[in-house]
Each structure stands twice: as structure tokens, then as C-alpha cells.
Chains A and B, each alone.
Chain A
Amino acid sequence: MRHLRLALTGIAFCAAVLAAHAHGPTPQKVEESIEISAPPDKVWEIAKEFAKIGDWHPLVEKSEGTGGNVAGATRTVTLKSGGALEDGLDDFNEAEKSYAYRLAKENIEAFPVSFYSAELSLKPNGDGTSAKWIGRFYRADTGNFPSETQDDATAIAAMSNFLSEGLKGLKAKAEGK
């Protein structure tokens, strides 16, 4: 048991070291939102499962994770376009129907962003729900002379697309379409 724990600690440490890639000093932001014709409680039941983003996000092939919906939980998100992203849950607020997470391991071939943190939140709007997804992130190449495939515009486009398509998927699932 003790050996297993030591081994696991070792693995976690290696993962942490691998994840420690430098990002640049100028973060970018995106903000996407959508109106959903379903009550917040119903939308939240779908959206809150951190490891189950694959159930509703149209760009996600599959997702799996450990730790449930508690800060410190992790998920691996395999993209339909290829490659996988690893996220860590930072803050989970049941009362406010919001959670924040960040990229734990970058994969700039799959997703041209070197680091992101993001927050998904729900607010009631009449009988329905306003869902908002915001992100803070850095381009893939954080040097001062990035190529056209690793610059701010590419990162903004990728992030914006991922969040807006995700919200459309959440809406479709919650509205039962």
C-alpha cells in the first residue's frame, strides 16, 4: 500500500514537471454565452459533471476523469479533431452553479493554446437559463515572434470555437433536441 502510494506520488510529480511549460506574459480572453430554454437546475445537472463534458460537447470525442466534482478533480478530454487535453478542476460552486478549471497539460498540436483557465456559469433568465463560458489563455508560441499557426489570433479562434460550440451542445442536450 505504502509502495503504491509512493509510486503514485512519483507519477503525479512527473506529470507536474512535464506540465510546467512556460507561457508568455500577455493573456487573451474570450467570453461566450447562450440562452437555454430549460431551467437552471436541469442545465446544471448536465453541465456540472466535470468528467462528462463528452456527453454534450460536439467537438469532444470522449472524456473521462477522476475525483468527481471537487476541486482537485482531473479530466482527460479527447478531441474529435485528434489529441487530448488534460484539465484540473480548481473551484466548484454548487450554490452559484459555476465551476472553474485550468489546463493541466498542454497539447499545442491538438489545441493551439499553451495555457488556459476557464469558468462555466449558469444564471436564471425567466423560465430559462443564461449559460456563460469565459476563458483566459496564452497563444501556443509565447515568444515575441510566433508563427501564423501559433499566434494570438489562432489561439483566440480555437478557444472561442471550443466554448461557443460547447454551449450550443449544452443547449441542445438540455432542450432535448
Chain B
Amino acid sequence: MQRRALLTATFALLLVAVAWGGESRGLVFVSNQDDATVSVIDTEKDDVVATIPVAFAPASITADRDGRHLYLTHPERGEVSVIDVGERRVVSSFKVGGTPFGIVVSHDGTLFIADWNNDTVTAVDARTGKRLREVVVGRSPAGIITSPGGALVIVANRESDSISILNASTFALVATIPVGRAPFALTISPDAQHVYVANVQSADVSVISTQTLQPVASVKVGPMPYGLATSRDGSRLLVANQSAGTVSLLDTRDMKVFATHKVGRFPEGLAIEPQGRKAYVANWFSGDVSVLDIVTGAEIKRIKTGSGSRALVAVRVPASAHAEPMP
């Protein structure tokens, strides 16, 4: 008992020391679709530090600008769950109807939700759950992102082989741009110059210029690319090749694949931790997450998460309760 008290005191002191040092740490939240949970990985230790129960079959997950809240879609329930990062639990949920899949929060706190079966993007007030607008995009919209400055919302239309670009403030459709076959995941370079789109069926990545709104390149990657992320400095692009169970790294200057490494079975979502040194890929079939060195792409560790690990999001959490945004 005494020993435990001592341990607790030591731990509390450590926490205070970390807070005084102004250190922040990274957390990666992973949605486990079959288990109906969200795993919380501390990126310092690369261990699961909490598992949050959520409603049936969670799919995509995103964080708001200040990193305080996470939003999680439940396509089969037409529902969105809200997780409080500090409390590590679901604090509210709201029905949006349809089949909400991809989700992202704009800088002003509007949720943009891709509806897989309705071929729309729905804008919803993140605080109230109130529906603001519905925009028709291409067929089966999947992955959805905002531009780094927050002006644009970009969605991959899986069955139309295109991406749609929306104005985040006016909800106007700015452009529809053709890409490869069955685009699913997408990401944007930190300098906002290029959108990268992973095309599942044609096994390539389309590069779109945000200046001209035109495709500028198409690069072959591994089979069934289902996840994408750029490093925080924008120098490399990571692609999860689901059929091969690998992650490929490309140099964004020449867009050449310079490394490909084995990960778990059927990898999908990719995220970069706040320090920018490690990448995390959710391995859907094996129910775990591979931690990769961002420089070499090699797997450092594999962390057991839950059945059907699919999507993940990285959040920076200072030692105090206050949290900061992760783009």
C-alpha cells in the first residue's frame, strides 16, 4: 500500500515535471470497425494506453483544429460519434442519416461528411449536429480532406473516378477533376500545391495541381492502394498497398518509389505522429498498427489494437489538458 502511494506520488511528480517542461506528446486514435472501439496509442511508448467503446461499426475518424474532439462515422447507423480527447470517451452522437463515411472538420468547425450511398457531401455544425447544406458530388464519395489553409474541402469519388473540390465557406462546387480508377484515400502536400489521390483499382497515385486544378502526373504504386499520407515536411509520400501488405515511400520531388516495406495484413489508413518522425498504418485484417520510421519506412513496432483497425488520426496533446491542432 505504501509502495503504491509512493509510486503514485512519483508518477504525479513526473507528470508535473513534464507539464513544466512544456512538453507535448502525440496520441494516435484508431477506429476498430469490427470491435466497435477506438484504440488510443501513446506515440512516445507506442503502446495502447486506452480503448474507448463506441457504437457499432465505426469507419472514418478525424480531429478538430484544437485537437479536443474527435468525430467518428458509423455508416450502417447513419450516425456520428463525438469523442472528447481529454476524457477519452464518447460524449455525444448525432444522426446524419444515409451512409456517412469519410469525415473532416473545417477550420470554422463545420463537419464535412461524405455519404457513400447518396453521392453527397453533407455540411454539419460540429457543435450542434445541425445540418447546414448538402452538396451533390460524384458517386460513392469516400476519403475527404481540407486544404492546409482551410479554404477547400476535397473528396474522392470512388465510383466516378474523380475528385470534387468544394469551397469550405460557401459550400460551392469549385471543380471536378478526373483521376485513376476507384479513388479512395487522398491527401494534400503541406504547401497546398498538390493533391495526391490513391486509386484502388488502377493501383496508382494521381497528382493534381491546386494551381491549375489539373492532373499533372500519375504514378504506379503497389496493388490496391487504400491509404495515403505525406510527411510533415512534405518530402515524402507514403502509400499503403492493401493487397501486398506493404507501405511504399515516394520522394515527392521526383515521385519515385524509393522503398517498400512489409506491414500487417490488409493495411489501410495512414497517419503521421505530431513530431513527424513516425508513421502509423492500420492493418485491417490482422487487427494491429505498424509503426514505421519516416526516414527508412522500416517497421519499428507492431501494436495489437482491435479487430478491423481501419482509420486513424494523430493528435498533439500537451501535458496539460489543453490540446493543439494537428493538420
Query: Given the interface contacts A16-B181, A91-B244, A117-B243, does A26 sit within 8 Å of B159 by beta carbon?
Result: no
Contact B243 A90 (CB under 8 A): yes
How long is the Cα–Cα vector from A1 to B139 in the complex, in angstroms? 36
Chain A residues within 8 Å of chain B by Cβ, number: 24
Contacts between chains A and B (CB distance < 8 A), count:
74
Q: Which residues of A contact B78 (CB under 8 A)?
A: 144
Contact B159 A25 (CB under 8 A): no
Q: Is chain B's interface secondary structure helix, strand, loop, or mixed overall?
A: loop
- Which residues 257-304 of B have a CB within 8 angstroms of A? 265-266, 284-285
Query: Given the interface contacts A91-B222, A134-B265, does A26 sit within 8 Å of B242 by beta carbon?
Result: no
Contact A144 B76 (CB under 8 A): yes
Q: Which residues of B contact A124 (CB under 8 A)?
A: none
Contact A102 B59 (CB under 8 A): no
- Which residues 191-208 of B have a CB within 8 angstroms of A? 201, 203
Q: Which residues of B contact A16 (CB under 8 A)?
A: 181, 201
B181 and chain A: residue at smallest CB distance = A16
Chain B residues within 8 Å of chain A by Cβ, number: 31
Using an 8 Å CB-CB cutoff, how does the interface string of B1-43 with A read, 1 for contact, 0 for none? 0000000000000000000000000000000011000000000
Interface centre among A19, A71, A136, A143 (most CB of B within 10 A): A136
> Which residues of B are in contact with A by a Cβ distance under 8 Å?
33-34, 57, 59, 75-76, 78, 99, 101, 116-117, 139-140, 158-159, 161, 181-182, 201, 203, 222-224, 242-244, 265-266, 284-285, 308
> Which residues of A are in contact with B by a Cβ distance under 8 Å?
16, 19-22, 24-27, 29, 31, 71, 90-91, 100-102, 117, 119, 134, 136, 142-144
Q: With contacts A29-B34, A100-B223 known, what are 12 further pairs, Cβ within 8 A?
A: A20-B182, A21-B159, A22-B139, A22-B159, A24-B75, A24-B117, A25-B59, A26-B76, A27-B284, A31-B285, A71-B223, A117-B224
